[in-house]
Structure 1
Amino acid sequence: MSLLSIRHDLPADVLRRPATRLFEVLDGPTLIHLPGDRPQPLFVSVLMHGNEDTGWRVIRNVLEEYGERLPRALSIFIGNVRAARYGKRRLERQPDYNRIWAADGDTPEHDMVRGVLASMRERQVFASIDIHNNTGINPHYACVNRLDPRYLELARRFSRMVIYFTRPSGVQSLAFARLCPAVTLECGQPGDEIGIQLATRLVRQMLEADSLQGDPALIDDIDLYHTVAVTKVPNDISISFSGEVADVRFIRGIEQLNFEEIPAGTRLADVTTPSMPLNVMDEDGRDIGAAYFEINDGRLLTRQALMPSMLTVNERIVRQDCLCYLMERYDPSRGEKPLPETPLWNDAAPRS
């Protein structure tokens, strides 16, 4: 039995419910296709993580504004309804809904994403917007997986700050980047009203747009960064963010360093372990921690200048996902990297 439900209408009273109460009218992950004046649909995914409710608030705003007459068809994927009930990123035995879009597996979740992709490919999706929140303190920014001007236009309509990445390979935007212009929106922490307004504006613009032209000159109006590595803490390393005794005691307020260019020699933590307590993996799966961090006299220091993003002091999120990503400023003249080969898309090529 498939985990995915597909509908062609809105369940009664669904727009009156916050994310924590969607389980009352939805059995689980649900793909809703709504008609519009332009038949090529905009795809919007929300609640990929159950504790990130901005996307659902955006959908409520948009549908309450337009009513039954949408200027473009709209397909809405409502993801982890069960985790949203409890305000959690995911439940203990669930996979991360934003890490399974590249995997070839036989779980209900893999069947679910195959169903979503097949449905949207058949409908010749116009553009994809995946809406998220951060747990740490971050600015509003957009992420793309291709440097095609149409993708950058979609991102710039949300924020001047844009991150380009091709790993991790299992995220929703990478799967949709093979079908259409795709973007991930990072809208600040849940409840951030500015993030909600910016995302609502972008969805409204894409519903009303005739096309995405992709002005190449737009690149001059973008602060472009590239994710070079993801930083994780091994499960056998204890951590603290408030001064408690642990293998790694991070400095207080470390999340304030997000999107700051940190010089070499910056102290990030006090450590009791003689060896490197972090795993820092680049896009090719190589551990490059020694290039970025060092231990000196019981302190974890930066070895070179770096810029982190998505630093969080929420230990649960650190364990379920990562401590942070490391970024560099990116010159688009370097070109884009090939999208990773994935079982779901080995026979698929990006549409031009």
Structure 2
Amino acid sequence: MNGASDNVLTVLDQLPSGLLDLPAERLHEMLPGPTLIELPGSDPQPLFISVLLHGNETTGWDAMRAILKKYPRLPRTLYLLIGNVSAAARRQRHLPDQADYNRIWKGDGDGPEHAMARQLLHRLEQRPLFAAIDIHNNTGTNPHYACINRLNEDYLHLATLFSRTVVYFLKPDGVLSLALSRRCPAVTLECGKPDDAHGVTHVIEYVEAALHLSAFPEHEVAPQDVDLFHTVAVVKVPEQLSIGVDDPRADIDLSSAIDHYNFSELPVGTCFGHYRHGGDTALEARDELGNEVSGRYFELSDGRIYTRTPVMPSMLTLDTGIIRQDCLCYLMERLPLPTGE
């Protein structure tokens, strides 16, 4: 092992005995912190998979447990990163004194989590990865979908192997998939809520297909096989404002049905909830360049927050803790399928 700190990368060349018997909340009993396990396979070019970058998103680990129990020898070399085990022990996205494990991969930052990220990326620089898959859950009502950070064909093939719904984004720019997309086809999987058994089954099927994939198809992804969206803004609640759901005491009182808006093309005038402070800003929206664009997407009238233009949100949730830690939602628009790199 390379270290025993919660935020120092441990590197192993085999699975510790009994590791696959542990649910996510007990991994800290065997792993001292984020751990990269390098397992040989019949094809030597590694497939990189990361799970538990957020400690409360357990589908990836549950799926990998099942896959690794099934294969005495893998069809392809596998690099498995098991992320925030200390947060998983408490079933939290990340602990209060930690940076978000999926916002640390830009190369900047001087915290211990950022140092761990640089350690991993440096190690992976020496290895020609076949592809990279980062597995996540979300807390709202969302379909299963895949996210990519480049629009070339290999990335689209890797994404549509999981879902016809594909989201292209460049912000937030500290995510692991974006860092690895400079080196190999990379994808983030959003697998619904962590307590949904279908999410585990879907990921098992997908990872097994990726492990057996010898090369990416040379043909382009057909337009009828993909619904491609582009994230154009991230929406947050200002820190000084309180958040509630059907709570008239909160500064921002969200509708209890708001998470059902995900991946729906909302018309002008859709109500997101109520606001009760006296200012003219209830939600903050920033585009990919960091510009404040809330006035483009929202208007305030009679104490309510309405959409000003047709929008399609994703990641809307009723979990106010997640809203505070991350964001309220992302706003997307449809994107034509590119005809090449």
TM-score category (smaller protein) = over 0.9
Which position in structure 2 is the counterpart of 1:232?
A: 236
For residues 35-184 of structure 1, the aligned pairs below 5 Å read: 35-67=40-72, 69-184=73-188
Per the normalisation by structure 1, the TM-score is 0.92
Which position in structure 2 is the counterpart of 1:200?
A: 204
Separation of aligned partners in 1, 2:14 and 2:28: 17
SS of aligned partner of 1:109: helix
Separation of aligned partners in 2, 1:94 and 1:293: 32
Residue 172 of structure 2 aligns to which amino acid in structure 1?
P
Q: How big is each residue's C-alpha offset from its partner over 1:81-116, in whole Å with a ceiling of 9 and x where there is no partner? A: 000000000000100000010032332212211222
Per the normalisation by structure 2, the TM-score is 0.95
Any conservation in 1 of the 2:151–2:338 contact (CA below 8 Å)? Answer: no
Residue 17 of structure 1 aligns to which amino acid in structure 2?
L
Aligned: 1:252 with 2:286: no
Aligned: 1:284 with 2:289: yes
Query: Which of 212, 215, 238 matches 2:216?
Result: 212
Q: How big is each residue's C-alpha offset from its partner over 1:332-351, in whole Å with a ceiling of 9 and x where there is no partner? A: 34987xxxxxxxxxxxxxxx
Separation of aligned partners in 2, 1:181 and 1:218: 18
Q: How many residues are matched?
A: 335
Separation of aligned partners in 2, 1:189 and 1:100: 23
Structure 1 residues 113 and 219, CA gap change in structure 2 (3 angstroms): farther
Q: How big is each residue's C-alpha offset from its partner over 1:271-330, in whole Å with a ceiling of 9 and x where there is no partner? A: 112311111000000000001000111111110110110001111100100000000001
For residues 2-13 of structure 1, the aligned pairs below 5 Å read: 3-13=8-18
C-alpha displacement at 1:55, in angstroms?
A: 0.6
Any conservation in 2 of the 1:148–1:214 contact (CA below 8 Å)? Answer: no
Which position in structure 2 is the counterpart of 1:302?
A: 307
Sequence identity of aligned pairs in percent?
51
SS of aligned partner of 1:37: strand
SS of aligned partner of 1:201: helix
Separation of aligned partners in 2, 1:59 and 1:29: 16
Separation of aligned partners in 2, 1:92 and 1:103: 22
C-alpha displacement at 1:247, in angstroms?
A: 1.1
Separation of aligned partners in 1, 2:126 and 2:216: 20
RMSD: 1.4
Structure 1 residues 326 and 111, CA gap change in structure 2 (3 angstroms): same
Residue 136 of structure 1 aligns to which amino acid in structure 2?
G
SS of aligned partner of 1:131: strand
Any conservation in 2 of the 1:38–1:73 contact (CA below 8 Å)? Answer: yes
Any conservation in 1 of the 2:156–2:221 contact (CA below 8 Å)? Answer: no
Query: Which of 246, 262, 282 matches 1:242?
Result: 246
Aligned: 1:327 with 2:326: no
Any conservation in 2 of the 1:149–1:218 contact (CA below 8 Å)? Answer: no
Structure 1 residues 177 and 219, CA gap change in structure 2 (3 angstroms): farther
SS of aligned partner of 1:71: strand
C-alpha displacement at 1:147, in angstroms?
A: 0.9
Any conservation in 2 of the 1:144–1:173 contact (CA below 8 Å)? Answer: yes
Residue 303 of structure 1 aligns to which amino acid in structure 2?
R
Any conservation in 2 of the 1:262–1:307 contact (CA below 8 Å)? Answer: yes
Separation of aligned partners in 1, 2:178 and 2:124: 14
Any conservation in 1 of the 2:153–2:340 contact (CA below 8 Å)? Answer: no
Q: How big is each residue's C-alpha offset from its partner over 1:149-205, in whole Å with a ceiling of 9 and x where there is no partner? A: 110001101001000011111000000100100000000000212221111111111
Any conservation in 1 of the 2:234–2:329 contact (CA below 8 Å)? Answer: yes
Structure 1 residues 191-200 or 211-220, which shifts more? 211-220
Unaligned segments of structure 1, at least 5 residues: 337-352
C-alpha displacement at 1:268, in angstroms?
A: 1.4
Residue 246 of structure 2 aligns to which amino acid in structure 1?
S
C-alpha displacement at 1:121, in angstroms?
A: 2.3
Any conservation in 2 of the 1:230–1:325 contact (CA below 8 Å)? Answer: yes
Structure 1 residues 170 and 294, CA gap change in structure 2 (3 angstroms): same
- Could you list the structure 1 runs, at least 4 aligned residues long, displaced by more than 6 angstroms after superposition: none
Separation of aligned partners in 2, 1:282 and 1:334: 25
Structure 1 residues 15-24 or 250-259, which shifts more? 250-259
Separation of aligned partners in 1, 2:222 and 2:23: 36
